[in-house]
Amino acid sequence: MPHEQIEASAGPAAASPWDDVAVRLRAGGLRWTPQRRTLIEVLREHEGHVTASELIARCKELDGTTTPSTVYRALDLLEELGLVKHGHGHDGREEYHILPQQVHGHLYCVGCGSTWEIRPETAAVIVDALASQLGFAVDLSHVTISGLCAGCHD
Amino acid sequence: MPHEQIEASAGPAAASPWDDVAVRLRAGGLRWTPQRRTLIEVLREHEGHVTASELIARCKELDGTTTPSTVYRALDLLEELGLVKHGHGHDGREEYHILPQQVHGHLYCVGCGSTWEIRPETAAVIVDALASQLGFAVDLSHVTISGLCAGCHD
DNA sequence: TTGGTTGCAAACACTTTGCAGCTGA
DNA sequence: TCAGCTGCAAAGTGTTTGCAACCAA
């Protein structure tokens, strides 16, 4: 095998947290299967949140043999590894929050269903308000605000 | 029949918005049935939000003859009247938001699942921030922010 | 080899719908 | 009387579970 460069001991090495999933799985006596590989591929394509249904559909698209139960089980596993966190979206379906790379929040319009990201500076205002007035330490990475967007609001 | 006092033409007459549901229903050619009466009773007991299951269970408890389909249909009706608004809670089940009497929002802790109300003055800060920085007109009555409360946050 | 995994199918929980009979106005 | 309502039961969703076969390590 060819010599490899020595890993940088400092710096933003891990471009994506998905890169070492295989290693982490095996480290726990678990396996790196084609189905799980596919799921990770799909998760790489997303940001923020995805519904289980979307993931299942996309996996089946890429693989064809993947079944819902496998996806659900794999997601449970990934959640245990702390790579995703499940919750429920506004449509009532399982929704997975992909580990947030950066601090931000989401704005959801209950009128049209659209979602926007809240810019950091705006989010800061909200967090400050909640922290100073209610003593509530908000985890910025999971802030979701639902309301009506300008278009749906009179 | 005894003489009744003339209704006050001003002042905070309607103590509860449920008081005139019967009238509003009949005004629309709809009916005031025992099942609907029971549902309203149950709704009176709640504030904020309730899941459909809870409502169904409680109605059956009070009435015994109420069935899920009746409750769901009645809730649809009440939503059309603007008395409740449905959405989906963090457990993924149908959740009904009982008409907000005052402008406020909710704070949901993804750690422990607790819910708090956001005080109007705090909510105002949030709305201002969203309105001025993103041009997003938030419907204050349906603001929900999920994050981690002080107790669950390190 | 062997224990973690997978696919299938059945089980589940919750919500919706069709329909005949009931009932409030 | 007669539309609107109700209860029942069946159909639909989306998610979970049991189990025998399969395969990564």
Q: Is A152 helix (H, G, I), strand (E, B) or coil?
A: coil
pLDDT at B151 over 80: no
Give the residue from chain B lying closest to A146, CA to CA. Answer: B143
pLDDT tens digit sequence for A73-87:
999 999 998 888 887
C chain positions with any atom within 7 Å of a protein CB: 3-9, 14-18, 23-25
The span from the CA of B151 to the CA of B142, in Å, is 25
The answer, for A107 touching chain B at a CB cutoff of 8 Å, is yes
Residue B101 has pLDDT above 70, yes or no: no
Q: How does the average pLDDT of chain A come out, rounded?
A: 76
pLDDT tens digits, A116-147: 777 777 777 777 877 777 666 666 555 667 66
Cβ neighbours of A86 (radius 10 Å)? 16
Q: How confident is the model over B102-112, as pLDDT tens digits?
A: 555 677 766 66
Strand D bases contacted by the protein (CB, 7 Å): 3-10, 14-18, 24-25
Q: Kindly report the CA angle at B119 between B116 and B123, in degrees rounded to 5?
A: 105
Range scoring the smallest mean pLDDT among A14-18, A73-77, A142-146, B12-16 = B12-16
- Which of B119, B129, B14, B76 shows the shortest CA–CA distance to A105? B129
The Cα of A81 is separated from the nearest Cα of chain B by a number of Å equal to 17
Q: What angle do CA A128, A130, A132 make, to 5 degrees?
A: 65
Q: In the 8-state DSSP scheme, what is residue A150?
A: T
pLDDT at B6: 33
Note whether A14 and A20 are within 8 A (CB): yes
pLDDT at position A17 over 70: yes
Of B93, B125, B147, the CB nearest to A138: B147
> What integer pLDDT is reported at residue A49 of this predicted model?
79
Distance from CA of B35 to the nearest CA of A (A): 26
B129-143 pLDDT per residue, tens: 777 776 676 665 556
Q: What pLDDT sits at residue A9? A: 36
Q: Is the pLDDT of residue A47 over 80?
A: no
CB contact under 8 A, B92 and A88: yes
Considering only CA atoms, name the residue closest to the C1' of nucleotide D9: B69
CB distance A93–B92 less than 8 Å? Answer: yes
Q: Pick from A118, A145, A150: which is nearest to B144 by CB?
A: A145
Q: pLDDT by residue (tens digit) across B33-89?
A: 999 999 999 999 887 778 899 999 999 999 888 999 999 999 999 998 888 888 776
Which segment of A66-70, A93-97, B24-28, B149-153 scores lowest on mean pLDDT?
B149-153
Mean pLDDT calculated for residue range A61-66: 88
A146 touches chain B (CB under 8 A): yes
Share of chain B above pLDDT 70, in %: 65
- Look at A85 and A11; give whichever has higher pLDDT: A85
Q: Tell me, yes or no, if B88 comes closer than 8 A to chain A by beta carbon.
A: yes
pTM strictly above 0.85:
no
Give backbone dihedrals phi and psi of A128, rounded to 5 degrees, phi first: -60, -40
Strands (E), chain A: 49-51, 84-88, 94-98, 105-109, 115-118, 143-147
Contact B143 A146 (CB under 8 A): yes
Q: Is residue A58's pLDDT more than 90?
A: yes
Give the long-range contacts of residues B95-98, CB within 8 A, separation 24 or more.
B95/B49, B95/B50, B95/B51, B95/B52, B96/B49, B96/B50, B96/B51, B96/B52, B96/B55, B97/B48, B97/B49, B97/B141, B97/B142, B98/B43, B98/B46, B98/B47, B98/B48, B98/B49, B98/B50
Higher-scoring residue by pLDDT: B65, A90: B65
Residues in B touching A136 (Cβ below 8 Å): 107, 116, 147, 149-150
β partners of residue B7: none
Q: Are strands A105-109 and A115-118 parallel, antiparallel or unpaired?
A: antiparallel
Footprint of strand C on the protein (CB under 7 A): A 25, 29-31, 33, 35-36, 65-70, 73-74, 77; B 22, 26, 31-34, 51-53, 56, 68-69, 72-73, 93-94
Domains, chain A, with CATH or none: 21-98 (1.10.10.10), 106-153 (3.30.1490)
Residue B152's pLDDT is what? 64
- In this prediction, what percent of chain A has a pLDDT beyond 90? 29
Measured distance CA(B154)–CA(B56) in Å, rounded: 38
**Which segment of A17-31, B109-123, B134-148 scores lowest on mean pLDDT?**
B134-148
The answer to whether A89 contacts B90, with C-beta atoms less than 8 Å apart, is no
Residue A23 CA distance to nucleotide D23 C1' (Å): 18
Q: What is the pLDDT of residue A48?
A: 73
Angle (deg, nearest 10), helices B52-62 and B68-80: 120
Name the band, by pLDDT with cuts 50, 70 and 90, for residue B8: very low
Token representation of residue B104: 């406020």
